[in-house]
Copies of this chain bind each other. A is one copy, B any other.
Amino acid sequence: MAWDPALEAAFHPKVVAMVGISSDARPGMRRGPSGANFIISFEQLGFKGRIHPVNPKATEIMGRKAYPSVASIPEPVDLVVVSVPAQALPGVLEDCIAANAKNIHVFTAGFEETGEAERIELGHRVREIAERGGLRIIGPNCMGLYIPESGVGSFDRLPKESGPVAFISQSGGHLNWFSHYGQNYGIRFSKAISFGNAYVLDSTDYLEYFATDPDTGIICMYLEGVKDGRKLLQQVRAINRVKPIILWKAGLTEDGTRAVASHTASLAGQWGIWRGFFAQTGAVPVQSLEEMAEMAMTFLYVKQPPGKRVSVIGLGGGTSVASADVCNREGLDVPALTEETQTELKKFIPIAGSSVRNPLDTGLVFRNIDDLQREVELVTTDPNIDMLIVRPHLDMMSAGNSEDASQVIDYLIDISRNNPHGKPVVLVFHSFGNDPKELEMRLRFQVELPGQGIPVYISLNAACRALFRLYEYHRFQKALIAEDL
């Protein structure tokens, strides 16, 4: 189906029916997700509407009046959340049809993804009922919606704050982990959707919505398979002009394809086809949640770089060699600084044991805020350079004077926030030791700073990968826009 405006009610529901909550449901039940957890998640997120548990064997569940069926709920239902066993799903869907409740999140799993004949057949029956009843099914075999603004969610302790990132995920686990993980990268969500086996609504339907959703500025997608590949290609190419789409296409290896079958029973596709997809759409390719988070953080907090020539400030000749190798392998150039810049740098950087070409092997500046500022100013005004990666060493900083260290850190936060001279400045902290003070700093820098919107990367590879993709995205976007004119 195409995007149906009537699904909007599911995103901002006032009345929710929850079908399949056991009559003795209580918080903290062991052995995995249960219907009770949906109530708890909604409560934790501050859901302001009404939740009606549905269970023919109960009159009250978790302090709420229980109804024997969806049809018996005495008001229109915006969203039905179904967590009955697979065999009971057809009956519930008939009940939904009777109740004229058409927005349905089917958490229930156990269909064709099990590979068992009887369950494949059950899946066919469910599809048939959905089609007959015009049901807008999210799922089955999925965790459904996470919409912090509406207080809608399916997992424990989801963040309450909203933000500009949308996530369309074929996996519920990824939705959960990305929602949490995103906090460590300063990522907040407008809406996130886990859609599982995609009996009715597919990724393209949700994408259609996010294309014009004013709350969404960046779209992340995790896909195992897609029903209409051509439609997806056209959509992504069009939307990428306006909003970056970060796409993790999984299941493109032999064993990955088999794992997709066990998970959402989708057709995973072939790598050659998907390579063409990325080339034609400009979608930003990632291959893990970490990369997705790094990339979303990059779009959120790093300015468009004017080119792909990077300078790296670090400590150690071996590290400089490694830095240049990593930058080059990830697609960035590491040109020598201009003669003028080198001459200026040599005025305060000793020639023996240092290098002021690029990468800069000038670790001593991390012990002297004036030298550091002078160096950063020179590098970021060098016409050979489009962006800067700074790599302070935590062992050195934790061993030195802590007042000096905090001055340096404050300065680095400041320049990475303010992007002097319009050039991106990002941080990668080196940390090797076992010293408790250093370990504490490591945690702080790898979680807290990016969580506050300071672009800090866990490794130089990650930083270069993200910066190159950012550069490539903007290049592609310009080409697409030029095509339109």
Contact = CB atoms under 8 A, between A and B. Distances in A.
A177 B429 CA distance: 13
Contacts of A320: 259, 262-263
A177 B432 contact: yes
A174 B430 CA distance: 12
Given A181-B433, A289-B322, 11 more contacts: A31-B364, A157-B435, A173-B315, A173-B319, A183-B434, A222-B318, A224-B318, A250-B318, A253-B325, A263-B361, A443-B443
Contacts of A447: 434, 439
24 contacts: A31-B367, A85-B352, A114-B351, A116-B351, A157-B435, A171-B316, A173-B315, A173-B318, A173-B319, A174-B319, A184-B434, A250-B318, A253-B325, A255-B335, A258-B357, A259-B334, A263-B317, A263-B355, A287-B325, A289-B322, A434-B447, A434-B451, A439-B443, A442-B443
A216 B258 CA distance: 44
B262 A357 contact: yes
A279 B251 CA distance: 30
Interface of A: 30-33, 85-86, 108-110, 113-114, 116, 141, 156-157, 169-174, 177-178, 180-181, 183-184, 222, 224, 250-256, 258-260, 262-264, 287-290, 315-329, 333-336, 351-353, 355, 357, 359, 361, 363-364, 367, 395, 399, 430, 432-435, 439, 442-443, 447, 451, 459, 461
B171 A324 contact: no
Which A-B residue pairs are the 10 nearest by beta carbons?
A171-B318, A173-B316, A110-B352, A263-B317, A253-B328, A256-B325, A181-B432, A255-B334, A255-B324, A262-B355
